[in-house]
Amino acid sequence: MAVKLKVKDLSFSYGSANTLEDITMELDKGEIVSLVGPNGAGKSTLIKCIDRILKPQKGTVFVDGKEAARLSSKDFSKMMGYVPQSTLEVFPYTVFDIVLMGRRPHIGWRVTSNDVKVVARTLRFMGIEEFASRYFDELSGGEKQKIAMARALAQEPKVLLLDEPTSNLDIKHQLEVMNIVKKLVQERKISAVMAMHDLNLASRFSDNMVMLKDKGVFTVGDPESVLTPANIENVYGVRAEVRNGHMGRPYVMPIEPL
Residues binding other proteins (CB under 8 A): 48, 51-53, 72-74, 76-78, 80-82, 84, 87-94, 96-98, 101-102, 104-105, 107, 109, 111, 113, 116-117, 119-121, 123-124, 129, 132-133, 135, 148, 151-152, 155, 161
| Identity of the residue, 31 or 51, whose beta carbon is nearer to other proteins in the bound complex | 51
DSSP string, 23-85: EEEEEETT-EEEEE-STTSSHHHHHHHHTTSS--SEEEEEETTEEGGGS-HHHHHHHEEEE-S
Taking 3-state DSSP, the helix, strand and coil percentages for the chain, each rounded to the nearest 5, stand at: 40, 30, 30
Pick the closer one to other proteins by CB: 74 or 183.
74
Q: How far is the CB of 107 from other proteins (least distance, A)?
A: 7
d(CA 206, CA 20): 23
Q: Which is nearer to other proteins, 2 or 107 (CB)?
A: 107
Least spacing, CB of residue 206 vs other proteins, in Å: 22
CB closer to other proteins, 104 vs 239: 104
Nearer to other proteins, 160 or 227 (CB): 160
Considering beta carbons, is residue 76 or 205 the nearer one to other proteins?
76
CB of 257 to other proteins, least distance (A): 32
Closest to 164 measured CA to CA, from 182, 150, 177, 151: 177
Minimum separation from the CB atom of position 231 to other proteins (A): 30
Helices 141-154/113-125 angle, 10° precision: 140
In the complex, the smallest distance separating the C-beta of residue 124 from other proteins, rounded to whole angstroms, is: 6
Nearest distance from C-beta of residue 102 to other proteins, angstroms: 7
DSSP state of 130: G
Please say which residue, 78 or 182, places its beta carbon nearer to other proteins. 78
C-alpha closest to that of 103 among 148, 56, 153 = 153
Alpha carbons 139 and 148: distance in angstroms, whole number? 12
Between the CA of residue 33 and those of 25, 109, 176, 177, what are the distances in Å?
10, 36, 18, 15
The secondary structure element, H or E, covering residue 238 is: strand 238-244
Q: Rounded to 5 degrees, what are φ and ψ at 241?
A: -105, 145
- Residue 60: strand pairing partners: 8
Shortest Cβ 127–other proteins spacing (Å)? 12
